[in-house]
Amino acid sequence: MLKIQFDTFTLSNGLTVILHPDRSSPLVAVDLWYHVGSKDESPGRTGFAHLFEHLMFMGSRNAPYPAFDAIMESWGGHNNGTTSNDRTNYYEIGPRNLLETFLWLEADRLATLPDVITEEELEKQRKVVLNERRQSYENRPYGRAELAISEAMYRPEHPYHWPTIGSQADIEAATVADVRAFFDRYYRPSNASLVVAGDFDLATGRALVERYFGWLPQREPPPRAARPLAPHLAEDIDMTLTDRVQLPRLRLAWHAPALFAPDDADLDLAAHILGGGKSSRLYRALVFDRRIAQDVFAYQGSQILSSLFQAGATAKPGYDLDEIGAAVDAELTRFAAAGPTEPELERARNTHLADFYKGLDHLQTRADLLNHYQYLLGDPDGVARDLERYRHATRESVRAAFARTLAGKRLALRTIPEPVAA
């Protein structure tokens, strides 16, 4: 059984630390997760966790802007951050001689960011984020549907109702006071976990982490607003959007169990069997045999509070979404009734395991995976527990999980070509 070797400890201020030495190349990766995402925002202040991630690069007391990027890039290091509904991560990758610098930079911004942030910096990153919104959604084919899904599936008070990128109006309304309050609430050592991976020895790694993070004061983990999880869709919903596309696309979505809840891994396998690659049922039926679709998809979008199972297809020229919808429904209904064949299940399981191994090749992916397990399971040693779920899946468990999901209410979202001005 595959294991990722690591050592873990908690600093007295509550920061969880995970060290993963790997001397196979002269590189190090630092990966810091803050347990805050767009789910922790409030209506009217959406997009804030992500906007904040951008501000984390705007300088800290001892590394004023643009030192964060400038110092590490001067030695060939690079970095980024990502925000999801559930968490925010920051990572640096570079030569081993940058390890101490990476830790110093991360610790300094955790300690001092709100002291130095200015209105001007907020204004600049606001523009960058609005451009990111245009580039990733507004000016991208079918991007409007991606923004619409969560708003349709979750009621306004649900933390997944708004997309992580936020609304333009909310991004425009954010103030420096909001930034400081957000930082104060969520950016605490006790609300974070730090993975250091790569070319160092355990003793050095531990000493450096203690040196740069150990002095930060202890604070309780942030209080979480107890938001009631609103009921799911009360009825089936049909929606149609127009977009600047030539081919219509159908997207179906159901509520599904949360990440690591029962059925989650079975639904992953079901999604692969239905829509993953040339071997999948939807591909065979709609693309290969009937040639009515250009592409098909199915996936279990696993998240902490609850997941969405999505499936759909893009019509080939000359075919409409009624025909596509009927063909997709027929495949899904058949699968819910009879489940996968044994060879289908074996293929899906083997593909999942192989993809997992392939992911382990990359240092930062391993670092991120350790943080993922730490956050979800409270223990970085999650590989075995994670993969067992897939090994134990049976034809009946996959069928039943899928049938339960399909029995719920669903959203059918159609994207159709925008009328062309004459």
Q: State which of positions 353-412 bind other proteins (CB under 8 A).
A: 353-355, 357-358, 360-363
Q: Is 383 exposed, middle or buried (0-12, 13-18, 19+ CB in 10 A)?
A: middle
Q: What is the amino acid identity at position 120?
A: E
Q: How far is the CB of 407 from other proteins (least distance, A)?
A: 28
Contact flag: residue 95 with other proteins (CB under 8 A): yes
Question: Is residue 217 reached through a cis peptide bond, with omega within 30 degrees of 0 on the bond before it?
Answer: no
Q: How far is the CB of 84 from other proteins (least distance, A)?
A: 18
Rounded Cα distance, 81 and 166, in Å: 17
Cβ contacts of 268 within 8 Å, gap of 6 or more: 300, 302, 352, 390
Q: Which stretch binds other proteins (CB under 8 A): 6-14, 19-27, 153-161, 388-396?
A: 19-27
Among 317, 342, 419, 422, binds other proteins (CB under 8 A): 317
Q: How far is the CB of 275 from other proteins (least distance, A)?
A: 13
CB nearer other proteins, residue 261 or residue 294: 294
Among 101, 193, 302, 374, binds other proteins (CB under 8 A): 101
Residue 195's DSSP bridge partners are: 18, 31
Q: Spell 161-200 as b/e; 16+ CB within 10 A means b.
A: bbbbbbbeebbeebebeebeebbeebbbbbbbbbbbbbbb
Write each residue from 40 to 79 as x if it is in contact with other proteins (CB under 8 A), else as -, in one continuous string.
---------------------xxx--xx-xxx-xxxxxx-
Q: How far is the CB of 235 from other proteins (least distance, A)?
A: 32
Among 108, 170, 268, 331, binds other proteins (CB under 8 A): 108
What are the phi and psi torsion angles at 348 (to 5°)?
A: -65, -40
Q: What is the footprint of other proteins within residues 211-230 (CB under 8 A)?
A: 211-212, 215-217
Q: What is the footprint of other proteins within residues 186-205 (CB under 8 A)?
A: 199
Among 149, 274, 287, 292, binds other proteins (CB under 8 A): 287
What is the enclosing helix (H) or strand (E) of 328?
A: helix 321-338
Q: Strands 237-243, 410-417: parallel, antiparallel or unpaired by DSSP?
A: parallel
Rounded Cα distance, 17 and 192, in Å: 9
Provide the token pair at 187: 């950016």
The residue whose two tokens read 């607003």 is 225
Contact flag: residue 210 with other proteins (CB under 8 A): no
Q: What is the footprint of other proteins within residues 322-351 (CB under 8 A)?
A: 343, 346-348, 350-351
Contact flag: residue 294 with other proteins (CB under 8 A): yes
Q: How far is the CB of 173 from other proteins (least distance, A)?
A: 17
Rounded Cα distance, 269 and 300, in Å: 9
- By CB under 8 A, how many residues form the interface with other proteins? 85
Whether the CB-CB separation of 339 and 406 falls below 8 Å is answered with no
Q: What is the footprint of other proteins within residues 121-150 (CB under 8 A)?
A: 123-128, 130-132, 134-135, 138-141
- Which residue, among 160, 207, 157, 165, has the nearest Cα to 11 in the 3D structure? 207
Among 47, 94, 166, 275, binds other proteins (CB under 8 A): 94
Whether the CB-CB separation of 18 and 6 falls below 8 Å is answered with yes
- Which residue, among 294, 279, 273, has the nearest Cα to 348 in the 3D structure? 273
Contact flag: residue 316 with other proteins (CB under 8 A): yes
Residue 276 DSSP class: S
CB nearer other proteins, residue 277 or residue 408: 277
Contact flag: residue 207 with other proteins (CB under 8 A): no
CB nearer other proteins, residue 18 or residue 105: 105
Cβ contacts of 76 within 8 Å, gap of 6 or more: 94, 95
Q: What is the footprint of other proteins within residues 239-278 (CB under 8 A)?
A: 244-247, 277-278
Q: What is the footprint of other proteins within residues 159-188 (CB under 8 A)?
A: none
- Which residue, among 238, 205, 279, has the nearest Cα to 8 in the 3D structure? 205
Among 6, 34, 48, 104, binds other proteins (CB under 8 A): 104
CB nearer other proteins, residue 117 or residue 406: 117
Q: Which stretch binds other proteins (CB under 8 A): 7-15, 95-103, 394-402, 404-412?
A: 95-103
